[in-house]
Structure 1
Amino acid sequence: MATKIFTSTEIKDLKVAALARKYKCSDDYVRRVLKGDRERNTELAQSIVKDAIDALEIIERKTLITA
């Protein structure tokens, strides 16, 4: 899966508590997975990383509104 290691700034931009609640795990576990401190070989860890990548893409994209 994705090998992206999230920076502290990116983790601050994410709603870690929301990801933890969604996957019924602790905030600390989510942070460790995102930082790369925990293995990402489980389905749970891979799902957390995928959702975090998707959320950051939305946060960082430029939205152009045309009338």
Structure 2
Amino acid sequence: MLSNIGIPGLILILVLALIIFGPKKLPEIGRAFGQTLKEFKKSAKELTSDFAEEIEEVKEIQETMKK
């Protein structure tokens, strides 16, 4: 996704963000974005681990039913 933007595109985005939000708001926005991304990754990891646990439980049930 980011490989299509290139360096000039990133510079343009940063300049526009600086103009729109100002230098005082950008660190706050970056921090909020980082926290949101961290929470999203944490939730995705928990969901994946829950799914893996359910699959293991189903496998165990299938093994006990085969016997």
Give the TM-score normalised by the residue count of structure 2.
0.34
Larger Rg: 2
Higher RCO (CA < 8 A, seq sep 6+): 1
- Higher share of residues assigned helix: 2
